[in-house]
Amino acid sequence: MMEKPTEDISQTQYFKVEVEQEDSVKTILEDVYDALREKGYNPVNQIVGYIMSGDPTYITSHKNARSIIMKAERDELVEEMLTEYIRSNHWNED
């Protein structure tokens, strides 16, 4: 019988999204946001619904927005939004 290795939960794991993805994720969010607004939806509510559930039907198919948003991982979308929020509030200035 093989013994399962013990996990070391005292160590912090690092998570890093590739830098080259930032511009494409930002563009994805902009395009999806615009398509949702054009169709009369509240873009924030719809994007949050998609991120929380993973259900692409929260995103309109107008302007191919549903297919576009699925090109990015949901964690990449959250990271881009949080990064922009931090930048806009000047929290990252030392």
Q: Let me know if 21 is exposed, middle or buried by CB neighbors in 10 A (0-12, 13-18, 19+).
A: middle
Domain boundaries along the sequence of the chain: 21-88
Alpha helices in 1-94 (DSSP H): 21-38, 43-53, 65-69, 74-88
Q: What pLDDT, on the 0 to 100 scale, is given for residue 22? A: 47
pLDDT, average across residues 22-43: 93
Give the residue among 84, 80, 93 at the shortest CA–CA distance from 20: 80
- Residue 24 pLDDT > 60, yes or no? yes
What pLDDT, in 10s, does the model give residues 38-52? Answer: 999 999 999 999 999
